[in-house]
Structure 1
Amino acid sequence: MKTPRFWFTSPLRPDWRARVLAPLGWIYATGTARRVAENDGYLARVPVICIGNINAGGTGKTPTTIALAQRLLARGLDVHIVSRGHRGSVAGPVLVEERAHRATDVGDEPLLMAAFTKVWVARDRAVGVKAAEAAGADVILMDDGFQNPSVRKTLSIVVVDAVKGFGNARCIPAGPLREPVAEGLRRANLLLSIGPDGAQMRFLEAWKDAIPCPHVTGQLVPLQTGMDWQGMKVLAFAGIGLPEKFFATVKALGADLLRAEALADHQPLTDALMKRLQIEAKALGAQLVTTEKDAVRLPDSFKRQVLTVPVRLELSDWSSIDAELKRIGLG
């Protein structure tokens, strides 16, 4: 396999800090390799589709899971999603109730996905898969868990952000990866890169020699809600993996982005934080705007004051995914 030119031409190429931390990255990669080499995970009676990543952090797994769930639901299948939630979530297995649970109970992503289909939160993914099976699932979508061997995957889709790519191609803490690109993509059935056309071209140019599996491209497109964003003065805030992607979306809608507040992924939206943002927005004469994922974490007293920009994944071509679904009996 050729060495990706991305290492040498990108501003994200390894700098001196990455080189110093490289031995720790190697140790991290070795630990991941040992873990994924285990093959005694639970074998479900129904297909298990893993939507995972090689990069740490947000790549677009949640919108991918939602898009795939909708496609399978349209075929009349009983689709269940299994997620670990996030730190502080219930141990589970718990079937997420959109109106009964809060993000602090089950996690923001499971609560968001529960608007589309059945979602189970379980700290132990195998326990969650068994609960979904017992509840009559025809197919299980595993949100994340690509490096977790506790459940055997029928199909694995790796999601990557086309703008960020695989960074400097090094593992944590020397880079952004959970495991080396070659090892990860060797286990993947499909690679999905998400981003605008220009970023897709640059991603492919950099990484085409490292991709051994079918490669699908897609974009996150704002859902048409009838809201006229043109010229609206906004203060946008986002606690997602890549907040800058949301801010770019807001600007692309024509809004006048006066301030962008990047929060940590899953950061609690406390009353104090929201009050500060409210005061800043009022001083600017701006409307508060956030993502769907952040919206489910809003305190009740602020939900009516914040507008949401929902996005959906649109693929350029579903044929490669449909072929894999047919291969595993879901065609």
Structure 2
Amino acid sequence: MRAFRLTDYESHPKLEQIQTPDPGPGEVRLSVAACGLNFADLLMMRGQYQEKVTPPYTLGMEIAGTVDAVGPDVTAWHVGDRVAAFAGQGGLADYALCKAASCVRMPDAMPFTDAAAFLVAYGTSHLALAHRAHLQPGETLVVLGAAGGVGLTAVEIGARMGARVVAVARGAAKLDVARKAGATECLDSGATGFDLRAELKALGGAHVIYDAIGEPLATPAMRALLPEGRFLAIGFAGGTPPAFPANILLVKNLSVIGLYWGAYLRFAPQIMAGSIATLFDWYNTGALRPHISSILPLERALEGLDLLRHRGSTGKIVITI
């Protein structure tokens, strides 16, 4: 089968022919239809992801496809079932092995491309906003990197939850995408002399900051939080994690809250399952629709990763197999 492989941290990944794997106990094999790209794929390629994977391995953590074979003890899934899965790796290939417990049944009307763009981004934002930050109707939510893969879903879900959403992104085109997703205020971080703290103060401050960027936006955003505000640390696409002065956290009674979505598969799968069920319900009613800016074939996976690396996309990039 074809597989998009990283052989070592110093090389570019490339398409190779490898043996088709057989599922073991607790596993299913998927005939992959689509795979969503995530910023975490880039971190994993550099050995900087929370869960380090040592090369050689096949890239692609977010998969949608059809069950092709099941392990000897798997009873919940059958050949032909349409599923989405967070596998951690292996999705950029004709076939992928996944833990049966990590698979979820796709809504009947959901295309594979939507499913491959759904779990990580929407799952991250929903758990962050609903479970961790307890976002309330009428509160002001500020989303940094609002046109990115997870940022855009935070705008969409925040608006769905009744928040006033302030989108922060670079350039009019990206802000237009965020506005269409539900943002009521849009701030261009690429504008000359941009002062995020002052801009947010002029809007009345923020109850919740959703940050997938890190510095240089994180600290000025944190300084615009209202008393008892919550700062959600989602990721560091800008390259530098924030280091907040603790005296400001104390004086304003602020909370800094981390969110690593994949960890819920291990320590609280029931919380993740409930979140995904809610999101699929919203999808079925038309309340959510993934924004996919690029759909590319497996042969162009490296191009997709470059678009992600250089922020040349809005929403998600999906690779079809």
TM-score by structure 1 length?
A: 0.33
Of Structure 1 and Structure 2, the greater strand share is in: 2
Q: Which fold has the larger relative contact order, with Cα–Cα distance below 8 Å and residues 6 or more apart in sequence?
A: 1
Of Structure 1 and Structure 2, the greater helix share is in: 1
